Amino acid sequence: MADGLKASTRSGPGRLLIAVYGIFALAATARSAVQITTRFEQAPLAYLLSAFAAVVYVVATLALAGVVSRRIAYLACGVELAGVIVIGAASLVFVDAFPDATVWSDFGGGYGFIPLVLPVLGLLWLRHTGLRHSEEAG
């Protein structure tokens, strides 16, 4: 199972998807580490959400690369999509609660809306490779 997932999700277009995920995982982790260690009290909610987003990106990157199961990959991309939609909406409605931006504020507008597109591509890619995988197996 793990080998099949590896072969199917980390080759072809998936390779590129994982690369973009990896960059976001690295950037979000570094950014969140700096925020929490240097100025946590300025915007605790935003910085905690940044840290949460960083964890989600790291898990999604590893899951898409086939390190953990496909179910966890689906879960990570699903949480990521829910996160960017909920936090994106919340950042527009409750402006006061977000004195500093998170990666998901304004639906990822500060990052060219890549955070909004990425989980959709991730879920589509998992579905695509999942179908191919089950066809080969059956």
Partner 1 sequence: MIQVLATALTVVALVAALWSLVLAIANRPVTLATKPTLGLAGVVVLLEVGLLAQAVVGVVNVLGTDRELDRATFIGYLIGAAVVLPLGAFWALGERSRWGAGVLAVACLSVPVMILRLNQIWAGHG
Residues of this chain that bind partner 1 (CB under 8 A): 11-16, 18-20, 22-23, 26-27, 30-31, 34, 37-38
Return the number of the residue (20 or 75) whose C-beta is nearest partner 1: 20
Return the number of the residue (11 or 69) whose C-beta is nearest partner 1: 11
Return the number of the residue (59 or 65) whose C-beta is nearest partner 1: 65
Do the beta carbons of residue 87 and residue 28 sit within 8 Å?
no
Alpha-carbon distance of 49 to 103, in angstroms, equals: 9
Alpha-carbon distance of 134 to 27, in angstroms, equals: 35
Q: How far is the CB of 67 from partner 1 (least distance, A)?
A: 14
Q: How far is the CB of 38 from partner 1 (least distance, A)?
A: 5
Other CB atoms within 10 A of residue 55 CB: 15
